[in-house]
Structure formats: structure tokens, C-alpha cells
């Protein structure tokens, strides 16, 4: 898990968030078609994303973003960077 600190919060991969945590989406590094699809589901910089639950096998994970629930595999969530805010990390 790569964690680097900034003035405001910690940046990490979406896949590294624990269930119940929420964070602010920072950037997506995915192929155009995937990024575009996710962007239309609400995965845009600045959006608040919350980890709702993991599938019984531990993967994929269900995220709540922009009012909808979207499941992503770890291999996809790895390429999404989020900023963990103070509010999001309490739990």
C-alpha cells in the first residue's frame, strides 16, 4: 500500500480503503473506455466514495458513489487514487 501524505490528507488506492471508510476521489488511471464508463457512473475527481461491503469471496467490493452502488474488482480499484480525509478515516 502506497501512502503519501499531503497537506490535507493521505493519498492511497481505492482498493486499500477498509469497509466503512470514505474518501475523496483524486484520479483514475485506467484505459479510456473504462475511465469513461466509470466517470459516467460518478467516478470523477472530487466525488465522495464510500466502501460499503465486500462480496462474500472478498472481491469485488461495493462502493457507494454519487448516490449509486457500484461493484469493482480489486484489479480496477487499484488504479483509482483517493484522498483519505479526516472525516472519512474515523471508524
Partner 1 sequence: MDCCTPTSSVAVAEPPVATPETPSNGSKSRTGRIRTIALIGPPNCGKSTLFNRLTGMRQKVANYPGVTVEHHSGTMKSFGRPDLTLIDLPGIYSLATYSEDARVAVDVLKGNMPGVPAPDAVLLVLDCMHLNRQLMLAAPILSLGLPTLVLLNMSDLLEERHGKIDALTLAHELGHPVALISAAKGTGMDLIRNFLQQFSEFPLTRPGSARLPIIQNPASCRKWAGQVSARSHFEEPESPRWTRRLDAILLNRVWGPIIFVAVVIAVFQVVFSVGQPLSDGLGTLLTHAGASVAQLLPDNWLRALLRDGLWNGVQSVLVFLPQILLLFLFIGILEDSGYLARAALIADRLMRAIGLNGKAFIPLLSAYACAVPAIMATRTIENKRERIATILIAPFMTCSARLPVYTLIIAAFVPDRHLLGHLVGLRASVMLGLYVLGFLMALFTAKLLNSRVMKASSAPFVLELPQYRWPTPRSLALRLYDRGKLFTKKAGTIILACTFVVWLLSVLPVHGGQFSELSSSVIGHIGHFIEPVIHPLGFDWKIGIGLLSSIVAREVIVGTLGTLYGVDPATHASSLQSALHHDLGIGGAIALVVFFAFAMQCTSTIAVVRRETNSWKWPALQFAYMTCAAYLGALLTNQLILHLFKASASF
When binding is defined by CB under 8 A, the residue of 13, 42, 50, 81 that contacts partner 1 is 42
Q: By C-beta, is 22 or 76 nearer to partner 1?
A: 76
| Residues near 50 by beta carbon (within 8 Å), at least 6 away in sequence | 20, 21, 22, 63, 64, 65, 88
Give the three-state DSSP class for 15: helix
Which is closer to partner 1, CB of 7 or CB of 58? 58
- Considering only residues 45-64, where is the footprint of partner 1 by CB under 8 A? 45, 52-60, 62
Within the chain, what is the greatest distance between any pair of CA atoms? 36
Give residues in contact with partner 1 (CB under 8 A): 30-34, 36-42, 44-45, 52-60, 62, 66-73, 75-76
Amino acid at each position: 500500500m502506497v501512502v503519501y501524505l499531503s497537506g490535507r490528507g493521505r493519498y492511497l488506492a481505492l482498493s486499500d480503503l477498509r469497509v466503512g471508510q470514505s474518501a475523496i476521489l483524486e484520479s483514475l488511471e485506467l484505459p479510456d473506455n473504462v475511465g469513461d464508463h466509470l466517470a459516467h457512473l460518478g467516478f470523477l475527481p472530487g466525488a465522495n466514495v464510500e466502501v460499503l461491503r465486500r462480496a462474500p469471496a472478498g472481491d469485488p467490493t461495493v462502493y457507494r458513489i454519487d448516490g449509486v452502488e457500484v461493484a469493482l474488482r480489486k484489479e480496477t480499484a487499484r488504479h483509482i487514487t483517493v484522498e483519505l480525509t479526516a472525516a472519512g478515516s474515523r471508524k
